[in-house]
């Protein structure tokens, strides 16, 4: 009966239009919300992978009593650790033929250890990451452009702390981490050029699962009093900002769904007015107020189910084909929506999470039910005799 009332050919055309608009509004709201969240999930994962591929999961800092070999023994006893790399880190000034005294962060490492611990060797756009002489270094793309140098050129380090044996360094490779800050400031050099190579600023750890970083940090401190940091702490502000953006986008786009859902109030209210005689006849033959309310509540739910179902399908289709859609839009409007120079991506990433879809369906359903309650109550309060006298 709810279905027949809603899609009856005797309904006013205006009522049918509003019902269809409600369904389309829900469909678009749900579909766009799923698409936006999936793209934001994709960008978050890409950023996290770039950061973790370049930096480390956990850092261990020097201990007052434990020596390097003792710390290595502790690291090897941790089954969650895959590899480690010793780092000597300094802030230095470097110069080329074009630029003088440019500030950088200089990391002295073992190229063999670093290749096992990070993905920096896979980020090289030219050259290689095999340090054969103490003066070999690799630099980022932005830094190379700033200094106007390339592989084979020589740069000079100020060496004001007298930490390095050689002041003149040879560029062995140029990397692109995908993050401008790293490309502009970071230099990796051979630890054989570092005078106090037996010391270290910190030790990078690579874990089997980056999500275990906090647990491993706590374990190392509780068991061995080792001072550590991990990526969830050092990059907490960045990922917190991304999560806040996702929440804000979720709220804003949920308002679109809410507007579409509240169109149901108009649609059902007009339907109640149009069906007053039918309601009166049904109530006069014994249909209870509760049943009348249920009929119109079900009508709102039918609109909601159709809108939400089509919206989920639309969202999945848009998310899975978002890269093709962006490329098509760029060609049509002759603009660059996802610039490779800025985002360092060759396609638009997306990750569809079941939890996002479940939450969207749940919230949309609640909004639909709330929107259907008022017209349903209004229909049940009609007095049969007054409606039949119209």
Question: Residue 92: which of 166, 12, 32 has the closest Cα?
Answer: 166
The dihedral built from the CA positions of residue 66, 71, 72 and 76, taken in this order, carries a sign that is positive
pLDDT band at 387 (very low <50, low <70, confident <90, very high): very low
Question: Residue 355: which of 46, 41, 24, 32 has the closest Cα?
Answer: 41
Q: Locate 256 and state its tokens.
A: 């679109």
Q: How far, in Å, CA of 255 to CA of 248, rounded?
A: 11
Supply the DSSP string of 179-201, one letter for each residue: -HHHHHHEEEEEGGGBTTTTS-S
Model pLDDT, residue 298: 81
pLDDT, one tens digit per residue, over 17-63 is 777 778 888 898 899 999 989 988 888 888 888 888 888 899 999 98
Q: How far, in Å, CA of 347 to CA of 39, rounded?
A: 11
Q: How far, in Å, CA of 325 to CA of 340, rounded?
A: 16
Model pLDDT, residue 73: 92
pLDDT, one tens digit per residue, over 69-99 is 899 999 999 899 999 999 999 999 999 988 9
Angle at 93 between CA 88 and CA 94, to 5 degrees: 100
Residue 14 three-state SS: helix
How far is C-alpha 240 from the chain's CA centre?
11
Contact indicator for 202, 33 with CB cutoff of 8 Å: no
Rounded average pLDDT over 5-13:
55
pLDDT, one tens digit per residue, over 269-319 is 776 666 666 666 666 666 666 777 777 778 778 888 888 999 999 999 999
Supply the DSSP string of 287-300, one letter for each residue: --HHHHHHHHHHHH
Rounded average pLDDT over 320-347:
73
């Amino acid at each position: 009966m709810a279905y027949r009332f809603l899609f009856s050919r005797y309904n006013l055309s205006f009522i049918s239009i509003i019902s269809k608009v409600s369904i389309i509004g829900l469909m678009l709201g749900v579909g766009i919300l799923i698409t936006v969240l999936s793209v934001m999930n994709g960008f978050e994962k890409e950023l996290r992978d770039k950061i973790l591929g370049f930096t480390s999961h956990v850092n261990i800092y020097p201990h007052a009593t434990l020596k390097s070999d003792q710390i290595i023994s502790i690291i090897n006893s941790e089954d969650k650790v895959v590899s480690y790399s010793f780092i000597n880190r300094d802030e230095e000034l470097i110069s080329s033929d074009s630029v003088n005294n440019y500030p950088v962060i200089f990391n002295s490492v073992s190229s063999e250890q670093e290749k096992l611990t990070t993905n920096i060797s896979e980020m090289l756009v030219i050259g290689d990451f095999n340090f054969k002489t103490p003066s070999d270094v690799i630099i980022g793309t932005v830094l190379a452009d700033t200094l106007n140098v390339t592989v084979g050129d020589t740069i000079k380090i100020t060496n004001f702390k007298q930490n390095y044996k050689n002041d003149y360094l040879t560029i062995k490779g140029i990397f692109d981490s995908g993050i401008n800050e790293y490309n502009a400031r970071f230099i990796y050099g051979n630890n054989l050029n570092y005078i106090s190579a037996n010391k270290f600023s910190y030790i990078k750890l690579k874990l089997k699962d980056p999500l275990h970083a906090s647990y491993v940090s706590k374990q190392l401190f509780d068991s061995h009093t080792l001072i550590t940091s991990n990526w969830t702490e050092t990059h907490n502000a960045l990922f917190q900002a991304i999560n806040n953006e996702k929440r804000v986008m979720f709220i804003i786009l949920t308002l679109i769904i809410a507007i579409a859902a509240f169109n149901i109030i108009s649609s059902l209210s007009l339907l109640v007015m149009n069906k007053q005689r039918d309601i009166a006849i049904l109530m006069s033959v014994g249909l209870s107020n509760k049943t009348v309310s249920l009929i119109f509540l079900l009508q709102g739910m039918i609109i909601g189910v159709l809108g939400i179902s089509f919206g989920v399908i639309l969202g999945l289709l848009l998310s899975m084909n978002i890269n093709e859609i962006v490329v098509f839009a760029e060609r049509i409007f002759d603009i660059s929506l996802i610039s490779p120079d800025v985002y360092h991506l060759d396609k638009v990433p997306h990750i569809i999470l079941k939890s996002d879809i479940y939450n969207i369906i749940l919230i949309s359903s609640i909004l639909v039910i709330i929107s259907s309650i008022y017209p349903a109550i209004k229909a049940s309060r009609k007095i049969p005799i007054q409606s039949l006298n119209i």
